[in-house]
């Protein structure tokens, strides 16, 4: 080894071979998320095609199924590049995987920073989203279940207050509204005792005509936006841990892909050097 020409790659170099541990760890890492992505897409497609066509067109901006499909497809493409790139030792696919993962990580970091700095604007956007969801409550079963779950979990009703249900065509109090739910709120707004086995789904009937004090005896009168903000403030450590849990797999994927890319490049350089110097190693 002492007689090796200056600048020639060394077979004893730690990066002159492709580590099987790195290669298959990255492959399994991507395979797990690839399967998760397939499941997400399948659930999203099933939820989407099971709806009526008019519902599909009415609620694209707040449709959870559509969001699940978009995230699933994006995740599928990225992890596919990682799986095939690591298994075939393809530098192009590995670089594509690494670039996409880095961009997603930077976008998440930027969104978190901007959301913290411009918290008032973020609150306004969330308010618009929730108000839009209230308007389309009966148009989408998935959205309806999501709103009901949120109102029951946070003990809230509507966006800013229970009177926001006035903006829904089924719950508004206009004389022209023929719905039997006129001036009502969804049952998920109701104060439900845990010892009751049967839920009265009409408990919110006519409560928009009541004042806050009277309605508060039957339903939650506080809006979900304030309750959501309070929950975020009281669970900062939980949200920080969740953000870290999302960031760690991304950073691990970036690190492993870069290590594998460097090992493949060094292996290619070593092979090229050996081919050039097969006849005379001192050329």
Determine how many CB atoms are found less than 10 A away from the CB of residue 185.
Answer: 29
Structural domains of the chain ordered from first start: 20-118+246-270 (no CATH), 121-233 (1.10.1450.10)
| Residue-wise pLDDT tens digits, 65-79 | 778 888 899 999 999
Q: How far apart are CA 63 and CA 70, in angstroms?
A: 11
Contact 203, 218 (CB under 8 A): yes
For position 260, what pLDDT does the model report?
Answer: 92
Q: Which ranges of the chain have pLDDT less than 50?
A: 1-8, 10-15, 53-60
Determine the Cα–Cα distance for residues 111 and 246; give it in Å rounded to an integer: 14
Structure tokens at 96: 């594509």
* Span 158-168, pLDDT tens digits: 988 899 999 99
> CA-CA distance, 239 to 232, in Å (whole number)?
8
What pLDDT is stored for residue 130 in this prediction?
Answer: 87
Could you give the CA distance from residue 97 to residue 103 in angstroms, rounded to a whole number? Answer: 10
- What confidence tens digit (pLDDT) does each residue in 30-57 have? 999 999 999 989 988 887 777 654 444 4
Contact 137, 144 (CB under 8 A): yes
**CA distance linking residue 198 with residue 237, whole number of Å:** 37
- Is residue 224 within 8 Å of residue 186, measured between CB atoms? no
Beta strands in the chain, from DSSP E residues, in sequence order: none
pLDDT at 3: 47
Residue 141 pLDDT: 79
Angle at the Cα of 146 (from 168 to 152), degrees rounded to 5? 90
pLDDT of res. 282: 58
Cα-based distances in Å from 145 to 134, 151, 162, 177, 266: 12, 10, 17, 24, 54
């Amino acid at each position: 080894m002492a007689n090796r020409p200056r600048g020639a790659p060394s077979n004893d170099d730690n990066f002159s071979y492709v580590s099987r541990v790195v290669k298959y760890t990255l492959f399994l890492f991507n395979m797990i998320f690839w399967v998760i992505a397939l499941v997400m897409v399948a659930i999203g497609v099933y939820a989407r095609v099971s709806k009526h066509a008019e519902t599909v067109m009415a609620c694209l901006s707040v449709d959870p199924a559509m969001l699940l499909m978009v995230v699933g497809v994006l995740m599928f493409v990225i992890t596919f590049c990682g799986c095939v790139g690591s298994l075939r030792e393809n530098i192009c696919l590995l670089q594509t995987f690494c670039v996409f993962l880095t961009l997603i990580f930077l976008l998440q970091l930027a969104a978190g920073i901007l959301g913290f700095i411009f918290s008032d604007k973020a609150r306004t956007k969330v308010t618009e989203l929730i108000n839009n969801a209230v308007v389309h409550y009966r148009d989408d079963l998935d959205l309806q279940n999501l709103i009901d779950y949120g109102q029951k979990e946070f003990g809230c009703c509507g966006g800013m207050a229970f009177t926001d249900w006035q903006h829904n065509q089924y719950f508004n109090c206009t004389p022209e509204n023929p719905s039997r739910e006129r001036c009502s709120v969804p049952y998920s707004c109701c104060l439900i005792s845990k010892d009751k086995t049967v839920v009265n789904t009409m408990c919110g009937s006519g409560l928009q005509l009541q004042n806050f004090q009277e309605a508060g005896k039957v339903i939650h009168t506080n809006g979900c936006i304030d309750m959501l903000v309070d929950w975020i403030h009281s669970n900062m450590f939980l949200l920080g841990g969740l953000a870290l849990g999302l960031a760690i797999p991304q950073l691990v994927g970036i690190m492993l892909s870069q290590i594998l890319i460097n090992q493949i490049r060094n292996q290619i350089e070593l092979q090229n050097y050996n081919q050039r110097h097969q006849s005379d190693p001192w050329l």
